Structure 1
Amino acid sequence: MQNTLKAASSPYLQQHKDNPVHWQQWSDDVLALAKEQDKPILLSVGYSSCHWCHVMAHESFEDPDVATVMNDLFINIKLDREERPDLDKTYQLAHQLLNRQAGGWPLTAVLDPQTLVPFFSGTYFPKEAKFGLPAFTELLQKISEVFNEQRQEIHEQNGRLSQALQVVAGGSEQDGGSSSELVSLTSVLASNIIERADSRHGGMEGAPKFPQPAIWSAALHLAQSEWLEKEQAQGITEAINQSLKGFRQYGLFDHLGGGFFRYCVDERWEIPHFEKMLYDNGQLLSLLSEAGQHYADGDIMQAVDLTIRWLEEQMLSPEGGFYSALDADSEDDQGRSREGAYYCWQLQQLEFLNEDEQRFAKAYYGLNQSANFEGKWHLVTRQSWREVAKDLNVHEKQSPILMESARQQMKMVRDKRLLPFRDDKLLTSWNALTVQGLLQAKKAGSKAVTDELIEGCIEFLRRKVWSEQQLWACFKDGKHYQPAFLDDYGYLAKALLLSLSDQFSQQNWVWLTQIIDILWHEFADQANGGFYFTSEQQETVITRHKSWSDDAMPSSTTQALEALWVVAELTNDTEKLSFVENSLHSAAAQAKQSPLQHPSVIRLLDIWQKGLELWVLRGESFELPSWHEYLATGLNPGRWVFALEKGINDVALEKKFPAKADMAAYCCREHQCYPPIESFEQLKEFVGTHAI
């Protein structure tokens, strides 16, 4: 055998094409060869911007002696978890069951070639024994011995693990309980968030600290819920505000160029792991935009605007979509690859600023305090610019000018540095999350977002990864590949729904109904509720996953269900509406067991208890904006507003919401539909007297 990764599309796999390890891609031919030779499979899962993946590659996979052991004893498969999230989910779950703890990347699993069930799993292993971990080659030799000498024990363990995987991955089919029990989940989640929130620094207690936008997005919505007591609503609001402050003021946020890093290694949000992932930024755009609008907070919206500019400057592809990630590592001024080198500063590097700008920048970005990262400064803002102005006796009107002048000049200098490695594949799911974020930013009044940016990404998805009624998960070098997963369909469905609520178009409406149709026929578990992660047409390895939980990305099952629910309400599809109810009862059973892992489900359950609030406006183009703006402004969980100009004559919509000679607003809420409203005064009166 030889290393075959030169033919791979994945930038991550391309990083390993020159390794002496005989890496293979996951394929039927390679799996069949391993089975025929009865040789265990060493599966290494990672992604291009993963720091410890790079460390393990440098220490072990680039070493000829380590490679010899790997090549002699195993069939070695490299897998990009971003291209194959289905396989990553399976083997991460197997790792958790085998080791009684969460996994991560790099994931190192050894599979039985006959069943593809792992009999050993770990994460990073060093070349030489350290950190309490064995030397990688010694570990591999021991694993090989166990495989050859204890096949019966491995066979029995595989059987138990396979059964456990099918049970856990299949989800619970228990009933979620009575309406009162479902209502109590809102209160339980709020209590859990308040108990676990870091009251000093924001986010959840402990370190490392991840922003977990799904939790805080649900919290923002649930803080308005009628099911919470006053003290709970106040407590959750305080936790949200402290978290938003932690996200945007300290080290998680790139204060010069915009965009958020993946997580921080400390509890104070001081020092991040310096990779930037598109999926994090898409979600945080949505969260901060909603919060910025709701609280009328200009500082939050400034972070939104800078993040959008970063997306446009460093992540936008010629096709209109957005690239996947920026690496944590880059070359420093001495040509060495170091984490954070692109982002960190030394004081002498600020000499291009004038005296006033230097003084303000040092105080504002924490450069007048001790260096906080390997003898250099990673920029944070411990004080607001108003507080800095007061301390330095700078006029309040001059302060933002000084601050912005310093920021722009520092950014221009930093832009000349070598950009960290950029993973230039385009992922459908991550782009759909980003479209959601851009649409929420537009609704919040962002100064940076444009219709061109939003429509360009939607058009990329339509033209490049949607072909012959099928969606594809990945795009690179002018080609789409890998049939799409639930993440792709679910996030895209929600993005199209938000797009239609922003500006209704027949083209996007037809596309959304096609996506919903595929979700219904190929992903939905119509008997028990919910959606499988893979379609009926895709490869199933060990088991077919079905999950309601949020993790690094929001629950695609919940987003798919919400989109299907809204479309079913618009088209009066009673079969799908029954499916929604059945699904939410099933989801509630899982949410009861671990509320903090299911915030998106509990948010949707809260809406379901009150009923979806659906508005369809029919009229001339000049009449619609004022009605639409009145209904769409503000944080209204569960409210969807669609404004259809005359000339849009979809059969399904026309049946339930027929166009009239004059302007009309249709409202369905609290499980009933009302007569059309035909004047703006009646609309305001109706909303005022029917407030949920």
Structure 2
Amino acid sequence: MPLVNTLSTAQSPYLRAHRDNPVAWQQWTDSTLTRAKRENKPVFLSIGYHTCHWCHVMNDESFSSEIIAAVLNEHFIPIKLDREERPDVDAVYMMYLQAMSGGRGGWPLNVFLAPDTLDPIFGGTYWPGPWEEVSSKTGRTRKPQGPEFKDVLLRIHQLWTQDEDKCRHAGADAVRQLRDWTMAKTKADSSPLRPGILCDAYEYFVDRYDSVHGGFGEAPKFPQPTMLSLLVRMHQYMRIKEKVDLGDDRNAADMAIATLEKIAKGGIHDLIGNGFARYSVTADWSVPHFEKMLYDQAMLLNAYLDAWLFNKEANKFALDAVGDIATYLTNGPLTHPQGGCYSAEDADSIAPDNALTKREGAYYVWTYDEFFKVLGRVPGDIAAAHWGVSEFGNVDPQFDLHHELQGQNVLTVTMELPELSGVFGKSIESLEELLADCRDKLRAHREATRMKPSVDTKIVACWNGLAIGALARSGAAVLDVDPNAGAKCLDAAESAAEFIKANMYDETTHRLTRVYLDGPGTTPGMCEDYAYLIAGLLDLYEATFDPGYLIWARNLQETQNSLFWDESESGYFSAANDATNNLILRIKSGADAVEPSANAVSVSNLLRFSAMLGDEHLEDMALRTLDSFGKDIITQPYVYCGMLPSVVAANEGMRTIVLVVGKDANEDSVNDTVASVRSVLLPNTTVVLLRAVPRDDNDGHLQGWLVQQDDIYKTLLAAHEAKEHDADVTVYICRHKECGLPITGKSELMEVLERESNPEK
């Protein structure tokens, strides 16, 4: 029976986008893999995601081609996989590709597998389609370098039919080497992990810092928010503060903040409609790869919030960026109406001048004529000078490989307001008003006349965990500055948490489903889903002081420990111990990718739990996980940015701020004290709120659970319950199960908090 395309039944938008291909795509299922084994045909596994630009290119050139389909359907079992649904499968074969190609990788990830063992035989990323078809369809005259995809297919088929044993041996050998590498002992031999390791990471970043444009290394440039947050916080770690400042522009925090400011002014930032693109193809952040990912928004929201809290007066731009991203997440294309956030916005969209063609960035770029038609001559002149709009376009052809941006302008700040004021003889205030009006007009025109990029409407647990945490932190921090914006962020964070609990969580088993799209998916939660959601719920507890979130997070942590913990070597595997069918390796990684590793987030979670709940077992698990990656952290600390703050916490101890609300407290006074605690950046700190008299029975029940976790809370509450007259709020700063003297005055509290956030004071 011939293969037929089965992707119309897939849940993933990425897979469904290929349902009309002539390629007889199958899904990653037992029945498909059984057929490959029965027919002894190699599996062609193509992995991508909905907003992947080069995935779209390969689809247009190859997977829509009858020529390619004929070869694939006859000689292979073609399988399409969404990496965002199955990151465990993607990680295995990406590791193979990077090992085979000297570290290079990307998507689409295309690998040929032995049909029974699923060992990889050969792999690559983008291969060009049949040139005659491509040139005829697109009008291109420059043939891409490298072999055409059809030639690759025929060569692999030839190798398999002529020397199957050799192919199998090569695949088995590759898997053996990957398994040896993943199982290699990475525990520190004898040297304990010390905070000084952060200095080694700092020196690495100094060597690669771009003092002109911000960022690190050469193009393409990714924002790397986990690293930026680490650099901001380095100055608050007492033992290394003086060692991460070489003067000039090489202060750790200054490098991060300058980078964040450059990013905010670059073309990577949608200056008209909010949100940030995934990366820039240029060193100066001016020309982005236009897809917008949920995880980038969430992590950048945290990074900009850190920059603002670090120095509110100097870093007002960071507060603007916080508002920008928060608006994008709470009232933008990624906002699910029932709560939670969709995964991404596509890079490609319908071209305004050709309704039959999709082009990268078409929704975002402007011709000179259209720009001035919308704004008029005088406002247009000022706006064009500010945003670098040129008559012939502002994109260098070397960064436009497919000539999709010819004559187009990507808006990026090229003339700052003081210079603009001097050139046009207008006050900065009037220029701000004019540019805001221009922004509104351009946004209205864009929304009215252009087809919006498609949205990947999957709701992914881990990325929503990131968003929940970032929105909760931001909402709590800005509540005192902008109550409406703060409340909106907190509402969005709580709505997302409730959506996941109602639709992607089993109350009986305490297990997560990874993906939701018109219903829960079939893929169980991965380690990152648990880790990121737990982190988000801990942030949400500290933003709302609702112990229900803390209880849910604790239940999830127990499930994560039972499913993913490595009993022999410590740390967490990416895939569960009961979900490894058709997975040739279980990977355990502590190094960061675009997002912090699940192990890095897990260590932080465990340390936070141990500080909040007095759980020494969880603290021990955190320390053992750190130690399990110790050798690699010592030799390459710069790829462990997500874990390095926990190295400091493990050495210096976590700080817990306990707020005890008195019996007859004035709630305005309570809110004022809470706002004071949230007004400073305090790394490796947890915050707990207790009430001498709970507000209602449910509040009392939930607080009762919290108080039972740690005797310190019982002692503090007992002392306040015995008082006839009590302060509205009493603050205790606790470390190592010991609390300092009570603080009741705001001035004293602010003095202590400033000293805690700036150790030199």
- For the criterion TM > 0.5, the same-fold answer is yes
Moved more, 37-46 or 530-539: 530-539
Structure 2 SS opposite 1:201? coil
Following superposition of structure 1 onto structure 2, how do residues 321-336 of structure 1 map, counting pairs within 5 Å? Answer: 321-334=340-353, 335=355, 336=357
Alignment of 1:592-671 (within 5 A): 592-620=634-662, 622=667, 624-645=670-691, 646=694, 647=700, 648-650=703-705, 651-653=707-709, 655-658=711-714, 659=717, 660-661=720-721, 662=726, 663-669=729-735, 671=736
Aligned match of 2:471: 438
**Distance 1:196-1:601 versus aligned 2 partners, 3 A rule:** same
The equivalent position to 1:479 in structure 2, one of 513, 520, 542, is: 520
Q: Do the aligned partners of 1:677 and 1:683 also contact (CA within 8 Å) in 2?
A: no
Q: Could you tell me which residue of structure 1 aligns to residue 74 of structure 2?
A: 72
Give the distance between the partners of 1:629 and 1:328, measured in 2 at CA. 39
Partners of 1:301 and 1:258 in 2: how far apart? 14
Following TM superposition, by how much is the alpha carbon of 1:688 offset from its aligned partner in structure 2, in angstroms? 7.4
Q: Do the aligned partners of 1:125 and 1:135 also contact (CA within 8 Å) in 2?
A: yes
User: Match for residue 201 of structure 1?
Assistant: 213
Note the alpha carbon deviations across 1:332-385, whole angstroms, 9 max, x for none.
222231111100112222334355422321121112575213111110002323
1:581 matched to which residue of 2?
A: 623
Decide whether the 8 Å contact of 2:513 with 2:520 is kept in 1: no
SS of equivalent residue, structure 1 residue 77: strand
Residues 690, 58 of structure 1: alpha-carbon distance in 2 compared, 3 angstrom cutoff: closer
Aligned pair 1:304/2:346, yes or no?
Answer: no
Alignment of 1:400 onto 2:432: yes
Shift in alpha-carbon separation, 1:176–1:260, aligned structure 2, 3 A? farther
Matched with 1:248 is 264
| CA shift for structure 1 position 606 | 1.9
Given the superposition, is the C-alpha separation of residues 684 and 63 from structure 1 closer, same or farther in structure 2, using an over 3 Å criterion? closer
SS at match of 2:204: helix
Inter-partner Cα distance in structure 1 for 2:711 and 2:517: 42
Once the two structures are TM-superposed, the CA of residue 630 in structure 1 deviates from its matched residue by 3.0
For the Cα contact (< 8 Å) 1:587–1:601, is it kept in 2? Answer: no
TM-score when normalising by structure 2: 0.87
1:481/1:656 CA distance change after superposition, 3 Å: farther
Q: Does 1:560 align with 2:592?
A: no
Counterpart residue number, 1:537? 578
Note the C-alpha offset of 1:269: 1.1
2:498 to 445, 454, 459: 459
State how far apart, in whole Å, the 2-side matches of 1:230 and 1:618 are. Answer: 35
Structure 2, gaps ≥5 residues long: 132-142, 396-405, 695-699
**Offset, 1:207:** 1.2
Alpha-carbon separation, structure 1, partners of 2:103 and 2:628: 26
CA RMSD between the two structures: 2.2
CA distance in 1: counterparts of 2:609 and 2:635, whole angstroms: 30
Q: Does 1:279 align with 2:279?
A: no
The offset of 1:118, in angstroms, is 0.4
Q: In structure 1, how many angstroms separate the alpha carbons of the residues matched to 2:12 and 2:595?
A: 21
Tell me, yes or no, if the aligned pair for 1:200 and 1:242 is still in contact at 8 Å. Answer: no
Counterparts of 2:440 and 2:579 in 1: how far apart (Å)? 48
* 2:369 is the alignment partner of 1:348: yes
Name 2:163's counterpart in structure 1. 150
Contact 1:177 1:585 in 2 (8 A): no
Q: 1:493 to 1:114 in 2, by over 3 A?
A: same
**Structure 1 Cα separation of the partners of residues 428 and 168 of structure 2:** 72
* TM superposition shift of 1:30: 0.8
Structure possessing the higher relative contact order (Cα contacts under 8 Å, 6 or more residues apart): 1
CA contact (8 A) 1:330 1:339 kept: yes
Note the C-alpha offset of 1:102. 2.4
Matched position secondary structure for 2:687: strand
Which residue number in structure 2 is paired with residue 424 of structure 1? Answer: 457
Deviations 1:260-280 (A, max 9, x none): 001111112111111111111
| CA–CA distance in structure 1, aligned partners of residues 294 and 756 of structure 2 | 40
Residues 627 and 680, structure 1, Cα contact 8 Å, conserved in 2: no
Q: Which runs of 4+ in 1 moved over 4 A?
A: 681-692
| Per-residue deviation, residues 95-148 of structure 1 (Å, max 9, x unmatched) | 112222221100110001121110101001112475432121121111112122
The answer on 1:359 being equivalent to 2:381 is yes
Name the SS of the counterpart of 1:247 in structure 2. Answer: helix
The answer for the alignment partner of 1:58 in structure 2 is 60
* Separation of aligned partners in 2, 1:148 and 1:520: 45
CA–CA distance in structure 1, aligned partners of residues 4 and 454 of structure 2:
26
Query: Matches of 2:58 and 2:627 in 1, distance apart?
Result: 44
Q: Does 1:290 align with 2:306?
A: yes
Deviation at 1:607, TM superposition (A): 2.3
Aligned to 2:739: 674
1:178 is the counterpart of 2:211: no
Aligned to 1:109: 111
Q: 1:675 Cα deviation (Å)?
A: 5.7
Q: Which residue of 2 aligns with 1:163?
A: 176
* Kept in 1: contact 2:473–2:540 (CA 8 A): no
Q: Distance in 1 between matches of 2:280 and 2:683?
A: 30
Question: Is the 1:257–1:307 contact (alpha carbons within 8 Å) kept by the matching residues of 2?
Answer: no
8 A contact 2:388–2:394 mirrored in 1: no
Equivalents in 2 of 1:689, 1:386: separation in Å? Answer: 36
Q: 2 CA distance for matches of 1:506 and 1:175?
A: 37
**Deviations 1:215-265 (CA, angstroms, capped at 9, x unpaired):** 111111113323336363352233213311221111110001110001111
How many aligned positions are there? 690
* Residue pair 1:288, 1:304 contacting (<8 A) in 2 also: yes
Note if contact 1:616-1:667 (Cα within 8 Å) is conserved in structure 2. Answer: yes
Secondary structure at 1:377 match in 2: coil
From 78, 98, 101, the equivalent of 1:99 is 101
Instruction: Call closer, same or farther: CA 1:690–1:78 in 2, change over 3 Å.
Output: closer
1:219 equivalent among 221, 231, 240: 231
Amino acid aligned to 2:713: F
Q: Unaligned stretches of 5+ in structure 1?
A: none
Cα–Cα, structure 1 residues 170 and 282, in superposed 2: closer, same or farther, change >3 Å? farther
Residues 508 and 398 of structure 1: is their aligned pair in 2 closer, same or farther, counting only changes over 3 Å?
same
Q: Within 1, Cα distance between the matches of 2:189 and 2:494? A: 40
Matches for 1:510-529 after TM superposition, within 5 Å:
510-529=551-570
| TM-score for the superposition, normalised by structure 1 | 0.95
Once residues 564 and 171 of structure 1 are traced to their aligned partners in structure 2, the CA distance between those partners, rounded to angstroms, is 24
Deviates more, 1:91-100 or 1:682-691: 682-691
What does residue range 134-149 of structure 1 map to in structure 2 within 5 Å? 134-149=147-162
Contact preservation (8 Å) 2:614, 2:737: no
Tell me the secondary structure at the aligned position of residue 183 of structure 1: coil
Secondary structure, aligned partner of 2:648: helix
Comparing 118-127 with 636-645, which one deviates more in the overlay? Answer: 636-645
Q: Which moved more, 1:284-293 or 1:121-130?
A: 121-130
Q: d(CA) in 1 for partners of 2:88 and 2:573?
A: 10
User: Is the CA contact 1:617–1:624 (under 8 Å) kept in the aligned structure 2?
Assistant: no
In structure 1, C-alpha distance between the alignment counterparts of 2:422 and 2:45, rounded to whole Å: 57
Contact persistence 1:187–1:227 (CA under 8 A):
no
